[in-house]
């Protein structure tokens, strides 16, 4: 297939008759690029070895079409033979051009270091070049690029539902915060996270990122540390959240006049949820009152403390409540649900279709998780960038 698709390499192709089996293109007496089925600890993957020393292999899943593998091999071989860089999208270990590879090309052309691009190919080799290990990016992270600036580490994602999401990592605190694209470009604080591709083309996002940290408007970071894993003293001073002893949400959201000793716990939970929603990029949320602990002009926020899973009919009812709440207002309201219970799979799918966000509340820590795809897209990354310790 390699010879058929790229006949100019025919005289350079080498296929051994004994194991280990590999497909090699001999580029000089000392340099080669090759394709081999490779074991990474407990997993197998295809690896295309770059002829340039001290660089990791390009790694591809086992079900990658043969045409993609031989074209990747050709891209590395022809780049070396012509003395030119590996072309896009192959240089990003992708087989198809996309908005993310286009963004990476823009930034790389301006001298900004793009650490990795992840779109269709979720496989990457990490670690030292002489002993790489396989990592597989979670599909819920969407397509993204990880970028290193002199004073920041940034992940730029293009989410299916929300569009552009820009997150910045602060190594001194080991936390992520979110860049508001619209706000940064002078459009005001966005009521919801993300920025649509049709509103913010690739070139606009590239210009904003190229301007550097001074040009970014960043939502204040809020961290809810796990009770069992306190951070070091300097972080505790900034982000300590005094969580109450475990209780049911029936107790937590019961009438405060009958349980005055619980009022501090309720306030802590509300502050934790409000802080996280603000950090995620819900720009118009604010503290409310007892009937509506958190208010928003663009979202109707429902608090649920039932133990049983949310059903499709219940999700439809809550969505109707949100619509009714905005019936007399100019701005239609979407739904945010905060629940300590579960949700059925059909109800989660309906919530995505209704453009609602359903968050799971861990009442022991105050931390929010995701119960549907839209909520998953707004969560901050949980791990440091690959080039951080």
What's residue 326's pLDDT?
A: 66
The secondary structure of 172-185 as a DSSP string is TTTEEEEE-HHHHT
Distance CA 306, CA 253 (A): 11
Residue 329 is predicted with a pLDDT of 65
| Most confident among 47-61, 317-331, 333-347 (mean pLDDT) | 333-347
Which residues on adjacent β-strands are paired with residue 134? 125
Could you give the C-alpha distances from 229 to 183, 223, 360, in angstroms and in order? Answer: 34, 13, 20
Residue 151 has pLDDT above 50, yes or no: yes
CB 285 within 8 A of CB 271: no
Q: Is 104 helix (H, G, I), strand (E, B) or coil?
A: helix
Q: What local confidence, expressed as pLDDT, does residue 54 receive?
A: 60
Q: Taking the CA atoms of the chain, what radius of gyration do you get in angstroms?
A: 25
- Position 55 scores a pLDDT of 72
Which percentage of the chain shows pLDDT scores above 70?
Answer: 86
**Residue 294 DSSP one-character state:** E
Q: Which of 247, 246, 266 is nearest to 256 (CA)?
A: 266
What pLDDT shows up at residue 330?
A: 65
pLDDT value of residue 205: 96
Render pLDDT for 68-115 as a digit per residue (tens, 0 to 9): 999 999 999 999 999 999 999 999 999 999 999 999 999 999 999 999
- pLDDT the model gives residue 34: 93
> How far apart are alpha carbons 56 and 314 in whole angstroms?
50
Q: Looking at residue 223, what is its pLDDT?
A: 67
What is the rounded average pLDDT for all residues in the chain? 84
3-state secondary structure of 146: strand
Diameter of the chain by CA atoms? Answer: 86
- The answer, yes or no, to whether residue 191 has pLDDT greater than 70, is yes
Q: Which residues on neighbouring strands pair with residue 166, listed in sequence order?
A: 156, 179
The pTM score is: 0.83
């Amino acid at each position: 297939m390699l010879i058929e698709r790229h006949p100019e390499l025919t005289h350079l192709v080498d296929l051994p008759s004994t194991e280990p089996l590999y497909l090699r293109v001999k580029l000089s007496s000392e340099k080669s690029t090759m394709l081999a089925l490779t074991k990474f600890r407990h997993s197998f993957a295809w690896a295309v070895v770059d002829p340039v020393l001290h660089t990791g292999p390009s790694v591809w899943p086992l079900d990658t079409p043969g045409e993609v593998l031989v074209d990747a091999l050709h891209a590395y071989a022809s780049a070396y033979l012509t003395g030119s860089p590996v072309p896009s999208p192959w240089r990003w270990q992708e087989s198809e051009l996309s908005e993310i590879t286009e963004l990476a090309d823009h930034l790389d052309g301006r001298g900004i270091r793009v650490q990795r691009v992840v779109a269709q190919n979720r496989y990457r080799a990490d670690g030292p070049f002489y002993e790489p290990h396989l990592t597989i990016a979670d599909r819920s992270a969407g397509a993204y690029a990880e970028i290193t600036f002199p004073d920041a580490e940034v992940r730029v994602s293009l989410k299916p539902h929300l569009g552009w999401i820009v997150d910045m990592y602060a190594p001194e605190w080991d936390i992520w915060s979110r860049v508001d694209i619209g706000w940064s470009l002078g459009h005001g604080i966005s009521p919801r996270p993300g920025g649509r591709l049709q509103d913010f083309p690739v070139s606009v996002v590239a210009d904003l990122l190229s301007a550097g940290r001074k040009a970014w408007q960043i939502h204040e970071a809020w961290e809810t540390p796990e009770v069992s894993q306190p951070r070091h003293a300097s972080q505790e001073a900034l982000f300590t959240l005094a969580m109450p002893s475990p209780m049911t949400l029936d107790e937590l959201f019961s009438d405060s006049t009958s349980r005055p000793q619980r009022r501090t716990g309720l306030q802590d939970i509300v502050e934790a949820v409000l802080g996280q929603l603000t950090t995620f990029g819900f720009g118009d949320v604010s503290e409310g009152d007892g009937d509506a602990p958190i208010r928003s002009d663009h979202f109707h926020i429902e608090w649920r403390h039932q133990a049983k899973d949310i059903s499709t009919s219940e999700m439809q009812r809550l969505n109707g409540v949100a619509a009714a709440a905005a019936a007399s207002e100019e701005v239609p309201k979407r739904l945010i649900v905060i629940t300590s219970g579960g949700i059925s799979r059909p109800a989660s799918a309906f919530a995505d279709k209704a453009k609602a966000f359903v968050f799971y509340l861990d009442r022991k820590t105050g931390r929010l998780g995701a119960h549907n795809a839209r909520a998953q897209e707004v969560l901050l990354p949980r791990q440091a960038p690959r080039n951080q310790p």
